[in-house]
Structure 1
Amino acid sequence: MIKKLLAFLMILSLLGSSMLALADDAKTVYTSDFTKDEDGWYGRGAMSFHTADGTLKTVGRQSAWNSPGRDFPLIEGGKYDLSVEVKQDDLDSANFMISIAHTIGGAETYENLAHGTAKKGEWTTLTGSYTAGDFSRYVLYVETTGADTLDFEIRNFTVTAPEGEPEPKPTEPPMVIEEAGEVPSLKEIYADSFDFGSAAPQMVFRDPKWLNLMKTQFSILTPENEMKPDSVLDVNGSRKLLKETGDETAVAVHFDAAKALLRFAQQNGIKVHGHVLVWHSQTPEAFFHEGYDTKKPYVKRDVMLGRLENYIKGVFEFLDENYPGVVVSWDVLNEAIDDGSNWLRNSNWRKIIGDDFPNYAYAYARKYAPEGTKLYYNDYNTAIPGKLNGIVKLLKSLIPEGNIDGYGFQMHHSATFPSIQQIKTAVETIADLGISLRVSELDVTVDNNSEASFKKQAHYYADVMKILIAHKDQFEAVQVWGLTDMMSWRGSQYPLLFDGNGNPKPAFWAVADPETYQ
């Protein structure tokens, strides 16, 4: 009997060692910590903020997808286990999901990864799994089903790779860089001409490697989403102000999602370009309705103008009080010209206020912006003749009032379109208006990551830079839209200067020295 017991114990011991070996392969990718701040989470169509109890609370929801979300640097082929605790205090029970929004080539798709039902006042754990597909961006979020306006809290959001994470796929063969000094700094190269910068995705603020790359290369940053209206406008807070004051024009704002970028810029002496105040997209629908309630009618023109002014005022007051001098310029208005009519698109702004809504937006921005803040109009497809005509028409209607400073070119191009001559014509046409210029969103796609494609891409970048350098007296900044190919919204087409490992591509060297690049 003793021998059998010893044998059994030996088997258990061997099994335990085997299980321990398997566990050693597992890697905890992320565990949330809401004790000090939002830990990189932001409200998707709602407001998310950390509480004194170390949880993340989401309020002001209007749709089931309104949720706390966070960008995660998942790796294609990686297997991930997900877990989160949720709690709600309003319904007898509510259904929750962990979901993912993944993006490739600019198209966002969704999957539901975990389901669970939370009873009133009880913490409930949701668990699920996900194998990462071929995407350039992954946003994990917690949403509800059938409880569109429910406030709720989350805690202990954990992502584990049970088999360990695979190595990221480089977008070109890795380059061995012995010393950081071998890679020149773009911000230093162009210091006498204009600021050189980048969009800064949320994930970079969790990795010292990417923070160092930004500090080394760029003198100005733009948040990808964290200062757009749906991240800044606090719908729930605005409802509370309305209830307290009876003022339909009262507006509350918050910058919870942008704090990581703003703090980083403030601490490192890097400028920030604000993006964006007024846009037809990514603006809470409730902002346009009576009582901040989408079930009620649109507000009248005078109320909408009041909300517009108070919103812009609140943005500038908050930034001036908390991050003085950090945000040096703004896209006041974004993508207002329709691609079909080549005039103002029929947005909520236009339907409620009228064709003069851009004039009011710039007048309010000028009224409340700190002295020296540059105010821009930003748009895409500037090199397309019809669109260019509409943009010029809008700029000419704004310039005489003295409230607009410049124009931002969104250059989301491919290595074959538009032509360099079209870009040159567009730049010269708008430069002739005598206003400041910037390239706000630059990337150049290619079909694959072959040597030939990267060489073609590099020559395109070099030709674009030559045009910009020729007008350097008017250009305030040139900003690529993203840090590395893996972080780009067009990541499957390898559009940026650095590959997925942070190595400089041929395009980097072309931008660094466009005149002599071969």
Structure 2
Amino acid sequence: MLHKRVGKQRKKLSLAVTFLLLFFTAVQTVPVKAATEKYYNFNNLTYQSAWGASYYVNGGSAYISFEGQYREIKFRLPETLDMSQCTNVTFNASSPNGQIAFKLYDTAGNQAAVKYNFNSSTSDVSFAPNTSAKVNSIGIMAQGTHWYSAVVNSVRFTMNDGGGSNPGTTDGTLLNTHGKTLKYSGAAVNYSQLRDANTLNVIKSQYNSITLENEMKPDAILGYSPNLISVSQAKNNGYYIPSNYNESTVPVLNFSTMDAVLRICYENGLKLRAHTLVWHAQTPDWFFRTGYSSNGAYVSQSVMDARMEFFIKTYMNHVYLGNYGSVVYAWDVVNEYLHAGSSGGWARVYGSNLGTSPSYVKKAFQYAYDCLSYFGLTNSVSLFYNDYNTYEVTDQIISLVNFINSDRKICNGVGMQSHLATSYPSVNSYKNAMQRFLNAGLEVQVTELDVTNNNANDQANYVYNLMSAILSLKKAGGNITGITWWGLYDSVSWRASQNPLLFSNLTTPKASYYSALRAYTDAGYTIQ
């Protein structure tokens, strides 16, 4: 009996210890939700609608005029926020001449929460939203009956971690996700952005590749008016002069900005896509005329062949003979040939409507390939044909590249510019085009990506589906080697009014940024 009693006591003690261990383990492993702030001023928000109210934005603040009681104006947030994870909403505003109300609206446009009776000089007004709705808009409404104005400076949401539409990938960046799997995560930038230390640090945190938006295009190198030097002087300057170049002068090529950019890239671990050598746009018209004169006749094709070879080989030689040429891993040799039509000097000299067998396009690739071959770079640097709406001209692009490569492979692949909209093209159409390029044995890079949209949610959903499609092709073995976003944030985009990028400002990611990361993890990749 004693033995049995001791056994039972030991069993009870063992169970008690086990219970305590499980209890403390459970307590220790419960995640603690840290509070984070979602802050927006009116440079981040998008006007949605108004009734009896007008506004303008200055310095990030909205200056609102109301015509009377219950007049209201609404603004869209750059992302959808889950109010079940929001503990507090704070508006910073001034309305000393009349009361205003602050409202939150859900994704269906219904009022989800409201704070009435603000009437003060500039101060914060805070309230708990007391709703579990998904909110993507705010409203500011007049309560007084007379005409008066208000200034609203900002709104911030105090969230538990993971409280937005964000997927909880706090350790994820474009660099350690898409950049790791596709090799290059890129953005279009300019020299002044690279010279700013804060901007450069942000670039390095998200990207390992840049494309210069304009500073490497032909007009930036050639100049808007010619500065001519003799052929002998050009040779002394290291210019490449082809044997069939029969003119007495050549234009000076200005590499100063490009050289400064190459050095910045080299010193900061960034790679560079060189964009672009041959393009019907942003190439000065004088480059195609006799004597390099603005009013000369257009030259013959043989003269232009020599000029093109001089330009391409001098340009590329300069890069790879310099101290920092190792940063350049890809060239857009020819840009948008299939959309050139009859405009520009190339069409004036060689003719338009040449179909998919244009001799000068093939020669451009040959000159570029010759240069890479001379430096032993044909296996490490890629040459691309770059174009927009590639999902509309897929057959023509494949035929064009086959013509370029008819003797040997001198064009590695296709740059899909990808200036997209949530309404067009469909992700399936885009994916099918990319699949066909891959099936043709071509390397593919997404080179100028942006996505215009009507609201942040639509953009986020489209970006998620697009990235999922691209990653599915990559997982199937597709030779996809990079994604370059065409700009750092919305207001510096060439399509700024349509908020096409992943960031609303330099350091504020949008819902689409997090959906791009979620697509990565949902595709089965892990963030390290």
TM-score normalised by the chain length of structure 1: 0.61
Pick from 446, 450, 454: which aligns with 1:439? 446
Pick from 409, 415, 423: which aligns with 2:422? 415
Pair 1:197–1:456, CA change in 2 (3 A): same
Counterparts of residues 386-397 of structure 1 (less than 5 Å): 387-397=393-403
CA–CA distance in structure 1, aligned partners of residues 210 and 436 of structure 2: 27
2:386 matches 1:378: yes
- Give the total of aligned pairs: 343
Q: Is the 8 A contact 1:252 1:311 kept in 2?
A: no
Q: Which consecutive residues of structure 2, in runs of 5 or more, have no partner in the other structure?
A: 1-55, 60-152, 162-168, 235-245, 352-357, 524-528
* Deviation by residue 1:373-403 (Cα, 9 ceiling, x = unmatched): 210000001122xx23322221221122321
How many Å apart are 1:294 and its aligned residue? 1.4
Q: Is the 8 A contact 1:195 1:220 kept in 2?
A: yes
* Deviation by residue 1:115-150 (Cα, 9 ceiling, x = unmatched): xxxxxxxxxxxxxxxxxxxxxxxxxxxxxxxxxxxx
CA–CA distance in structure 2, aligned partners of residues 335 and 326 of structure 1: 24
CA–CA distance in structure 2, aligned partners of residues 175 and 364 of structure 1: 58
Pick from 216, 231, 238: which aligns with 1:227? 216
How many Å apart are 1:244 and its aligned residue? 6.3
CA–CA distance in structure 2, aligned partners of residues 364 and 305 of structure 1: 10
* Paired position in structure 2 for 1:357: 360
CA–CA distance in structure 2, aligned partners of residues 175 and 208 of structure 1: 30
* Paired position in structure 1 for 2:495: 490
How many Å apart are 1:177 and its aligned residue? 12
Q: Which secondary structure does the structure 2 equivalent of 1:514 belong to?
A: helix
* Paired position in structure 1 for 2:258: 258
Pick from 185, 194, 197: which aligns with 2:186? 197
Q: Identical aligned pairs, as a percentage?
A: 31
TM-score normalised by the chain length of structure 2: 0.60
Pair 1:177–1:398, CA change in 2 (3 A): farther
2:305 matches 1:302: no
How many Å apart are 1:432 and its aligned residue? 1.5
* Paired position in structure 2 for 1:315: 315
Q: Is the 8 A contact 1:251 1:310 kept in 2?
A: no
Q: Which secondary structure does the structure 1 equivalent of 2:181 belong to?
A: coil
* Paired position in structure 2 for 1:129: none
Pick from 462, 465, 475: which aligns with 1:463? 465
* Paired position in structure 2 for 1:477: 482
Q: Which moved more, 1:232-241 or 1:203-212?
A: 232-241
* Deviation by residue 1:74-116 (Cα, 9 ceiling, x = unmatched): x9747xxxxxxxxxxxxxxxxxxxxxxxxxxxxxxxxxxxxxx
Q: Is the 8 A contact 1:485 1:500 kept in 2?
A: yes
How many Å apart are 1:243 and its aligned residue? 9.3
The RMSD of aligned alpha carbons is: 3.1
Pair 1:194–1:220, CA change in 2 (3 A): same
* Paired position in structure 2 for 1:186: 174
CA–CA distance in structure 2, aligned partners of residues 437 and 225 of structure 1: 22
CA–CA distance in structure 1, aligned partners of residues 414 and 230 of structure 2: 35
2:374 matches 1:368: no
Q: Which secondary structure does the structure 2 equivalent of 1:427 belong to?
A: helix
Q: Which consecutive residues of structure 1, in runs of 5 or more, have no partner in the other structure?
A: 1-74, 79-168, 448-452
Report the residue type matching 1:292 in the other structure: Y
Q: Which secondary structure does the structure 1 equivalent of 2:337 belong to?
A: coil
Q: Is the 8 A contact 2:502 2:513 kept in 1?
A: yes
Report the residue type matching 2:371 in the other structure: Y
Report the residue type matching 1:399 in the other structure: N
Counterparts of residues 49-64 of structure 1 (less than 5 Å): none
Q: Is the 8 A contact 2:185 2:207 kept in 1?
A: yes
* Paired position in structure 1 for 2:134: none
* Paired position in structure 2 for 1:454: 456
Q: State which structure, 1 or 2, has the greater radius of gyration over its C-alpha atoms.
A: 2
CA–CA distance in structure 1, aligned partners of residues 503 and 230 of structure 2: 46
How many Å apart are 1:222 and its aligned residue? 0.2
2:345 matches 1:348: yes
* Paired position in structure 1 for 2:512: 507
Pair 1:256–1:76, CA change in 2 (3 A): farther
How many Å apart are 1:296 and its aligned residue? 1.1
* Deviation by residue 1:476-509 (Cα, 9 ceiling, x = unmatched): 1111101111111111111111112521111111
CA–CA distance in structure 2, aligned partners of residues 336 and 224 of structure 1: 19
Q: Is the 8 A contact 2:285 2:294 kept in 1?
A: yes
CA–CA distance in structure 1, aligned partners of residues 262 and 462 of structure 2: 32
Q: Is the 8 A contact 2:419 2:449 kept in 1?
A: yes
CA–CA distance in structure 2, aligned partners of residues 430 and 248 of structure 1: 43
Pair 1:413–1:236, CA change in 2 (3 A): closer
Q: Is the 8 A contact 2:277 2:333 kept in 1?
A: yes
How many Å apart are 1:256 and its aligned residue? 2.2
Pair 1:420–1:345, CA change in 2 (3 A): farther
Q: Is the 8 A contact 2:503 2:510 kept in 1?
A: yes
